[in-house]
Structure 1
Amino acid sequence: MQVEIFGVRGCCFGIANMILVKRMRETLYQSLLSQDISFFDGETVGDLTSRLGADCQQVSRVIGNDLNLILRNALQGAGSLIYLLILSLPLGLCTLAICSTLSAIMLIYGQYQKKSAKLIQEYTASANEVAQETFSLMRTVRVYGTEKQELKRYSIWLEKMAGISLRQSAAYGFWNWSFNTLYHSTQVIAVLIGGMSILAGQTTAEQLTKFLLYSEWLIYSTWWIGDNLSSLMQSVGASEKVFQLMDLPASDQFTSKGSKLQRLLGCVEFHNVSFYYSSRPTVAVLRHVNLSVQPGEVVAIVGLSGSGKSTLVNLLLRLYEPTNGQILVDGFPIQELDVKSFREKVGYVGQEPRLFRMDISSNIRYGCTRNVKQEDVEWAARQAYAHEFILSLPDGYQTLVDDDLLSGGQKQRIAIARAILRDPTILILDEATSALDAESEHNIKGVLRAERSSSTTKRTILVIAHRLSTIQAADRIVVMDGGQIVEMGKHSELLLRDGLYARLIRRQADAVA
C-alpha cells in the first residue's frame, strides 16, 4: 500500500514537473521576445539560449525530484520524532537537539550550494557563448588557424567551473562528515542514557531498541532532507537569472495601444532628431537631423561608415526611440501609432539578411499577414530576380534554406522578394544590393525605377548604399557625416558642389579604375 502511494505521488510530481518546465520556457521565451532591441544589444545569444535550455531544465529537478523526496522524508521524520518523544522524553529531546544542529549545518550548506550553482550557470552560459561563436565562425577560425586560441578561451571558463565544483565537493564532504559525526553521537548518547534508564528501571530493553531504530530513521530522514534541500538550493540559484528575465517588463511597443492608420501615404519627417545608444551615452550617433520625405519619393542616404545612415532607418522602424526630437509619419508622431500595424505597411531589407531554416517559399511569405498564394510568392521572386535560381535548386521553392546552400547575393534577393510581397507603402533598402553581382544589381535598380514610375504603386523608398551607382537616379540624395546631414540634392547637383558626395564618387571611380 505504501509503495502504491509513493508511486502515485511520484507520478503526480512528474506530471507537475513537465507542466512547470513547459510553462516556464514559454513564459521566458515570450518575455525575451517582448523586449526592446536595446536589450539584445547587451545580451549574448549563447547566454539566452543557455537560460532557455540548461537553466530551465535545472529547475525541473525542483518539482520532479527534490520537493517529492523532501515531502516524503519530512513526513517520515515528523512521525519518527513524535514516536521518540512518546517513548522517552529525555532521549527524544537529545535526538531533537542533534537533528536541529544537523538542520543548521544543512541550511548553511544549502545557501553555499545556491551561490555556487548561480556561478556555475553563469560560467556555463559564457562557455556556451564561446562555443557558439566559434562554431558559427568556423571558416574564419580555420583560415586563420586559431583553433588553439579558441580552445584556450573555452578552457578558461571550464577551469572556473572546475574550481567551483571542487569547492562544492569539499563542502559536500564537510556535510557528510557532520552527518556521520552527529549520527554516531546520537547512537552513543542513546545507549548511555538508555542503559542508565534500564538499570534504574525507568525503561525496558525493548523500548531502547525501538528508540534506536526510530532515531536512526529520524536521522536519515534529516540527512535526506538536507541532501535534497541542497539540491533544491542549487536549482534555485541556477534559476535566479531565469526568474529575473521572466519578470522583465515588456517593451512599451507591446503594451501601449497606438492609433491605426486606415491608409498609409508614406510621408516621413524627422524633426531635430538626435540619438545616443544607452551603452554609449556620451557618443552622439545622430545630431539634430531634419529630413522630410514625400509620398512616392525615392530618397537615397549615403555617407561614410558610422555616419548614422542605418540608425536613421532603425529609428523609423522603431527598433530604437529617439533620444531627442520627433519622427512623424503622415503627420502623426510615430510613438502614437500602433507599431505592429505600422510595420505591416513597411518593407525592410538589411545588409546581411538572415533567412530562417525553413523552405524558400515560407521565407518569402514570412511576416506577410494577408492571404498569399504560391503565384504571389513566385511573382515577388521574379520582381527580385530570384525566380530563376530558385527553380535551379533541388526542390525549387520547397528547398530547405541552409547557410552553405545560398550565396550572400541569393539571400539578399530572397529578402527583397519578401519585402516586395508585403506590398509596403514604405520600402527600406539598407545596403540591400551590397552582395549582388553587377547584372543582378542592374535588374534590382530596374525594379526600383519601375515601382517609382508605376501609377498603381506609389511607394516611399529609402535606399542606403555604399555603391553610389545604385542611387544616382534617386529623386534626392542625402549625404551624412558624423551623425548630421551635410548635403542634399540630386546626383548632378551634388557633383557640382564638389563636396563629400563628389569625393565619394571620385574614390569609387578610382577604385574601379
Structure 2
Amino acid sequence: MALEDDRHSEETTILKQNIKIVGAVFGADASYEHLFNYVIIMASLSLSSSIFAGLRGGFFTYSQARIDRRIRGDLFRSFVRQEIGFFDANKTGEICSRINADCQTMSNTLALYMNVFCRNMTMLIGSLIFMFLLSWRLTVVTFTAFLQIAEESQNSVAKANDVAEEVLSAIRTVKSFACERFESLRFLSYLNITLSIGARKATAHVGFLLTTEFLQMGILTMVLFYGGHLVIQGKIDSGLLVSFMLYQFQLGENLRELGEVWNGLMQAVGASRKVFELIDRQPEVQNDGHIALDDRIARMEGRIEFRNVHFRYPTRPNVPVLKGLSFTVEPGQIVALVGPSGGGKSSCIALLEHFYEPESGEVLLDGIPVRDYDHKFLHTKVSLVGQEPVLYARSVRENIAYGSTATYEAVQRASRHANAHGFITETHEGYETDVGEKGGQMSGGQKQRIAIARALVREPVVLLLDEATSALDSESEHLVQEAIQRNLKGRTVLLIAHRLSTVENADKIVVISGGRVVQEGVHKTLIAEEGLYKQLVQRQMLGAELSEDFTAPKQAHSERTPRARSAKRVPRSTSPSQQSTVQSFLGSSMASSYL
C-alpha cells in the first residue's frame, strides 16, 4: 500500500509538471528556455521523489520488524513471568493468539500507517499551502473532515484460535469420542462472529467511501463553478485554476488516505489494548526472592514444613483446598502423601514449587519460606517428576539438560541413573535424536525416564514425585520404579503414590483428606489403627480381588497368582453399595491395585 501511495505521489507530481510543460509550449510566453526549465524541474522532482520514497519505505519496513520484535519479546517475557494461576484462568490458544495475531496487527499497522500518515500529512499541508497561495477564496470553499471504528474482531479471532489450539492439542481425544463435527461447528461459531463484525466494518467502509467520493466530487463541482466565475471576471487565469484543481484533487486523496489510516489505527488500538495490558501485568505470585547458596545458607539440608497452610486456587476462590494443613519432612526422609482424590495432595507439591501462594500459613524449606528463595536456585534444588512428562521438540540431550548448564557427561550419568541410557543409545542419533513435538517419538515409559533424568541432572536436594508411574504399562512402570528407587537415597523425597508397595516402604506416611492431615505415621502403625489409611488399603485389596473376579474364568479361580493368594482378603460379605463405592474410588485403574 505504501509503495502504491509513493507511485501515486510521483504520478501526480509529474502530471503537474507535464501541464506546466504544455503551458510552456503552447502558452503566450512559449519558449525553449521555459520548456527546458520545466523538464529539468520535473526530472529532478521525479528523481528526488523516487529516492525519498525508497528510503522512507525501507526505513518503515525495518521499523516494522523492530516494533514486531519488541512487542512480541515484551509480551512473551511477561507471559513466562506470570504465576501458574494466570495460565489456569487463560487458555493457551488465546495466549498464542495475543502473541501472533495481535502483535502482527500492531506492528504491521503502526509501521505501515505511520508511513502513510506522515506522507499524507506532509502532502496535505503542502497542498493546503499551495492552494491558499493560489486562491484563498477557493481554499475556503474546499475545506471539510471525517471518522471510523474496530476492536471486537481481535477478541473473536482470539477465541477461535483458542478453540483450534485446544482441539488440535487433544486431537486423539476428539477422534476417540467422534466429536469432529461438534468441534468444527464450535470453531465455526466463533468465525461467524468474526464474519458478522467484518460485515459491519465493510458496511461502514462502503458508507465512508461513498460519502468521501460524493463530497470530493461535490467540492470539485463547486470549485469548477466558482473558479470558472473567477476566470470570467479576470481575477485568476485558467492555468491557475487547473493547478488549483490538481492540488484540490491531491488534497482529497490525502484526506481519503488519512481516513484509511484512522481505520487501521483503530484496529491496532483494539489489538494493542489487551497486549499492553498483558505486558504491564504483574504476577500475583512474585518470584523476587534472593536467597541462594553463599547467602543466608551454606548448604541446603532439605527439611520441608507445612505450617497451618490454608489454600484455594485463584480460579476457584469459593472452594477451599487446604484447611490448616501441617506436617514436616526431615532431611533425607521419604514421605508419602496418600488420600482420596481431590484431598489436596498435588496442591502441596504445587505450593512447595512456589507455583501458588498460600492464603495463610507458611511453606518452609530449611526453615525459610519458599517465596524468599531465588527462583532459579529453588528449582535447581527442588526437582519435580510428574504424571505426564513434558518434552520439547528438541534433542534428547537438550531435553535432559533443559534449564541447566549440565555437561554431556552429566547428561549421560543422569540418564544411566534413570534407566534411560540404554534406549537412548539404541536410537539412530543417540542423545541428539529429536524427540518430536511433545515427545511424540518416544513411548510413555521412555518419556518418563527422560523426565527423571532431567530432574536428576540438577542433583536436587528435594525430589518431588507426583504419581510418576500411574499412567504407564507394567513393564515401563517397573523400569521407572527401579530408576526412582535407585535415586532416593540421600535425598528428601515427597511422593504421591497409590501403589501399596511404594507407600508402605516410606519413612513416613501422611494421610490427607478434605484439605487436612487426618493420620500420620509408618505403614505398620497406621494399618493397625481404625482410620482412613486402613480403609484405603482394604479397598485396594478388594479392588485386586474384584479385578480377578471380573477377568479370570470361573474354572480358573483356584489358579490365582501367588501374589493374589498371599494378599490379605476383605470379607466376601461386602455389600453391593460398598463394592460400588470401591469401584468408583478405583476407577479405570482398578486392575492395577492402586490406593
TM-score of the alignment, normalized to the shorter chain, above 0.5: yes
**How does 1:68-147 map onto structure 2 within 5 Å?**
68-96=115-143, 98=144, 101=145, 105=146, 107=147, 109=148, 112=149, 116=150, 118-147=151-180
**How does 1:65-464 map onto structure 2 within 5 Å?**
65-96=112-143, 98=144, 101=145, 105=146, 107=147, 109=148, 112=149, 116=150, 118-250=151-283, 253-258=286-291, 260=295, 261-369=297-405, 371-374=406-409, 376-402=410-436, 403-442=439-478, 444-447=480-483, 449-452=485-488, 454=489, 458-464=490-496
Distance change in 2, residues 1:62/1:443 (3 Å)? closer
Gap runs ≥5 in structure 2:
1-47, 546-595
Q: Distance in 1 between matches of 2:117 and 2:79?
A: 33
* Structure 1 vs Structure 2 CA RMSD: 1.8
Q: Distance in 2 between matches of 1:18 and 1:445?
A: 50
1:268 aligned partner, one-letter code? I
Task: State the shift of 1:249 in Å.
Answer: 2.4
CA contact (8 A) 2:306 2:328 kept: yes
Secondary structure of 2:103's match? helix
Task: Report runs of 4+ in structure 1 exceeding 6 Å deviation.
Answer: none
Q: Distance in 1 between matches of 2:200 and 2:475?
A: 64
* Residues 174-197 of structure 1 deviation map (CA, whole Å, 9 limit, x = unaligned): 000111111011112112222222
Partner of 1:11 in structure 2?
Answer: 58
Distance change in 2, residues 1:252/1:284 (3 Å)? closer
2:264 aligned partner, one-letter code? S
286-295 vs 226-235, greater mean Cα deviation: 226-235
* Residues 344-386 of structure 1 deviation map (CA, whole Å, 9 limit, x = unaligned): 11111011111111111221111234x4233x32332222222
Q: Using structure 1 for the length normalisation, give the TM-score.
A: 0.92
Q: Distance in 2 between matches of 1:281 and 1:177?
A: 53
Q: Distance in 1 between matches of 2:510 and 2:240?
A: 96
Q: Distance in 2 between matches of 1:160 and 1:442?
A: 52
Secondary structure of 1:253's match? coil
Q: Distance in 2 between matches of 1:253 and 1:234?
A: 33
Q: Distance in 2 between matches of 1:459 and 1:302?
A: 20
CA contact (8 A) 2:227 2:241 kept: yes
Task: State the shift of 1:286 in Å.
Answer: 0.3
Q: Distance in 2 between matches of 1:146 and 1:435?
A: 24
Distance change in 2, residues 1:66/1:84 (3 Å)? same
Q: Using structure 2 for the length normalisation, give the TM-score.
A: 0.79
Distance change in 2, residues 1:446/1:70 (3 Å)? closer
Aligned residues: percent identity?
Answer: 39
Task: State the shift of 1:439 in Å.
Answer: 4.9
Name the larger-Rg structure: 2
Partner of 2:109 in structure 1?
Answer: 62
205-214 vs 411-420, greater mean Cα deviation: 205-214
* Residues 299-343 of structure 1 deviation map (CA, whole Å, 9 limit, x = unaligned): 000111111001011111111011010122212222322232122
Q: Distance in 1 between matches of 2:55 and 2:479?
A: 68
CA contact (8 A) 1:416 1:432 kept: no
Distance change in 2, residues 1:443/1:186 (3 Å)? closer
Matched, 1:23 2:70: yes
Task: State the shift of 1:280 in Å.
Answer: 1.8
CA contact (8 A) 2:400 2:451 kept: yes
479-488 vs 389-398, greater mean Cα deviation: 389-398
Q: Distance in 2 between matches of 1:437 and 1:194?
A: 91
Task: State the shift of 1:444 in Å.
Answer: 4.7
* Residues 63-114 of structure 1 deviation map (CA, whole Å, 9 limit, x = unaligned): 4321111111111111111111122212111112x2xx3xxx2x3x1xx1xx
Secondary structure of 1:344's match? helix
Matched, 1:465 2:497: yes
CA contact (8 A) 1:61 1:232 kept: no
Task: State the shift of 1:285 in Å.
Answer: 0.5
Partner of 2:17 in structure 1?
Answer: none
Secondary structure of 1:181's match? helix
Gap runs ≥5 in structure 1:
none
CA contact (8 A) 2:509 2:520 kept: yes
CA contact (8 A) 2:395 2:432 kept: yes
Q: Distance in 2 between matches of 1:441 and 1:140?
A: 23
CA contact (8 A) 2:418 2:484 kept: no
Secondary structure of 2:311's match? strand
CA contact (8 A) 2:138 2:226 kept: yes
Q: Distance in 2 between matches of 1:368 and 1:358?
A: 15
CA contact (8 A) 1:14 1:63 kept: no
Task: State the shift of 1:262 in Å.
Answer: 2.7
Secondary structure of 1:284's match? coil
Distance change in 2, residues 1:67/1:491 (3 Å)? same
Partner of 2:542 in structure 1?
Answer: 510
Q: Distance in 1 between matches of 2:367 and 2:289?
A: 20
CA contact (8 A) 1:58 1:238 kept: yes
Q: Distance in 1 between matches of 2:285 and 2:176?
A: 44
1:191 aligned partner, one-letter code? L
Distance change in 2, residues 1:417/1:256 (3 Å)? closer
Partner of 2:560 in structure 1?
Answer: none
Distance change in 2, residues 1:256/1:88 (3 Å)? farther
1:176 aligned partner, one-letter code? L
* Residues 383-442 of structure 1 deviation map (CA, whole Å, 9 limit, x = unaligned): 222222223333332221134322222211111121122111111001112134445544
Secondary structure of 2:62's match? helix
Q: Distance in 2 between matches of 1:237 and 1:444?
A: 50
